[in-house]
């Protein structure tokens, strides 16, 4: 099982096409979207290739492979153009015996933790910076942004074989953590 983790697309069709190509090339099984899918919000610059309508069309082609949560730039109206649910503030998955708590990061993050136990995984975006570490026995994972990184370059995450990894869009390994 190989899962891609994407956050903060912010309507960038160019960057989404790059990660979708990687998704296919690497024969990944699922795509976790950690929010801020279509719009850039008032605090962010317009990303290169900003085409939110086309981003929705491309994502909808993968609707049966997507698990998504709502970001602070996602609006209720966005759900009208998306063929997969993305209105929940968080989602939980149990994969390979691991408990994953997935959220965007504007409500829960490493400084505002949900109720998790040692060994659980908190995955979030929002801050546009890559993080793969343990804090008080909990794995903290942020794949950063594929369109508007604030630290480092554009990146995405991968879960495979009890390990979380962060890769640049050029497929260079940036960080990893064993679960």
Confidence grade of residue 12 (pLDDT, cut at 50, 70, 90): very high
Structure pTM? Answer: 0.96
Beta strands 121-123 and 66-68 are unpaired
Q: How confident is the model over 97-154, as pLDDT tens digits?
A: 999 999 999 999 999 999 999 999 999 999 999 999 999 999 999 999 999 999 999 9
Calpha distance 164→144 (Å, rounded): 13
Q: Is the pLDDT of residue 45 over 90?
A: no
Q: What is the pLDDT of residue 44?
A: 76
| Percent over 70 (pLDDT), the chain | 100
Helix (H, G, I), strand (E, B) or coil at 130: strand
DSSP result, 62-84:
TGGGEEE---TT--GGGGGT-SS
Q: Which domain holds residue 33?
A: 2-178
Average the pLDDT over each of 7-11, 14-18, 46-50, 173-177 and give the range with the smallest value: 46-50
Q: How many domains does the chain have?
A: 1
Q: Specify which residues 173 forms β-bridges with.
A: 167
**Is 169:13 a contact under the CB 8 Å cutoff?**
no
């Amino acid at each position: 099982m190989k899962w891609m983790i994407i956050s903060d697309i912010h309507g960038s069709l160019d960057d989404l096409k790059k990660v979708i190509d990687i998704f296919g090339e690497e024969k990944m099984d699922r795509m976790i979207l950690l929010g801020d899918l279509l719009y850039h919000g008032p605090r962010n610059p317009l990303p290169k290739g900003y085409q939110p309508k086309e981003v929705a069309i491309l994502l909808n082609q993968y609707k049966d492979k997507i698990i998504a949560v709502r970001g602070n730039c996602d609006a209720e109206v966005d759900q009208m153009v998306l063929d997969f649910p993305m209105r929940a503030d968080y989602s939980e998955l149990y994969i390979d015996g691991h408990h994953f708590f997935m959220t965007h990061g504007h409500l829960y993050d490493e400084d505002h933790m949900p109720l998790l136990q040692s060994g659980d995984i908190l995955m979030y975006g929002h801050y546009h910076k890559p993080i793969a570490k343990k804090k008080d026995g909990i794995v903290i994972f942020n794949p950063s942004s594929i369109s508007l990184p604030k630290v480092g370059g554009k990146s995405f995450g991968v879960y495979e074989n009890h390990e979380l990894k962060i890769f640049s869009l050029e497929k260079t390994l940036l960080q990893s953590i064993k679960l």
